[in-house]
Structure 1
């Protein structure tokens, strides 16, 4: 492999990784521009190490045919280790925060960038460029389609101040069921009002709201209950 081929593959790895990483950086994700470039370049370097190892092994066997049965070069071993190792890096970008999971797409882009980097290092230029363009289109163009046509709902947190707990939970459950709202978590807190010496009761609801229902509508409906003093979006 000539030196200019090495440069071409490294530059292509930077371009491919930067293209996908720019989209993640623009969305303010945990792994962005530089991270994706480094992953792609690292994978490309690993692929080229494999090619150099095979070339050196082949030359050694040509000079010493006796070693043909003793020397082996596995072209897929290092690449498999890269794909496995990048899985741990992707796991670090996944954040679980009170009922919601963030970072799955970024973890997937890190993994696919590593795979594309392996293809770049092995010299599969058309495959590498086509895959990079396809991934970028998926990230940029299909986001609007997913938001518009795939109803996943959104996580909303409500802090509810109430007078009496009796019957409150049941009424809220009935309302949420009718509105197709899923309850993810309920936390009841009791604080003492130092000025009036009256128990001040509040609870925190974490709910999954359909996209066709605004959080403000839920707040208005809940406030109609006589037992509820105040509802705040957290």
Structure 2
């Protein structure tokens, strides 16, 4: 029984409270971006952005832990490259984001939502690798771009949907 318990809670390079804090940070930061998308009634909103950020953080944490696994540390034949995790997360989230983007009637829809998903994945990676300040600043920057600049676009009529409607009228 002790072996099973030891296997369920293995020794970790990163202490478990830090891992959980990083995962919670990914939830909060991804949720902030998702909240803005949800408030604008976009198809990928609060929960989607949280899950993307959380998954990316988990992949980053697993890659750090895998590099230091006892079975891999001594073997010259086994090499674990954390950069491949970043590439895989980037490609996977880009695939999800591309699925959000729709081209209909000569216009592109939900491009910003797709890029928000991609950014949530990057923020999740930053959290998973423990770069709290980078993840925090990026989240603030994203909210400014999405919310504040979105309000400016709306106020001054620089929204692409409005431009397309004006072009039809002329």
For this structure pair, what is the TM-score category when the shorter chain's length is used for normalisation? 0.7 to 0.9
Higher relative contact order (CA 8 A, sep 6+): 2
Match 1:74 to one of 58, 69, 81: 81
Structure showing greater Rg: 1
- 1:8-46 deviation line (CA, Å, top 9, x unaligned): 011001101110000000100010000000000000000
- Structure 2 contact 101–108 (Cα < 8 Å) conserved: yes
The SS at the match of 1:101 is strand
TM-score by length of 2: 0.83
Larger % of strand: which?
A: 1
Q: What residue is the counterpart of 2:126 in the other structure?
A: 119
Q: What residue is the counterpart of 1:31 in the other structure?
A: 44
Tell me: CA distance 1:74–1:124, structure 2 relative to 1, closer, same or farther (3 Å): same
- Structure 1 contact 57–71 (Cα < 8 Å) conserved: no
Q: Does 1:40 align with 2:53?
A: yes
TM-score by length of 1: 0.61
The SS at the match of 2:149 is helix
- Structure 2 contact 72–79 (Cα < 8 Å) conserved: no
Alignment of 1:198-209 (within 5 A): 207=168, 209=169
Count matched residues: 155
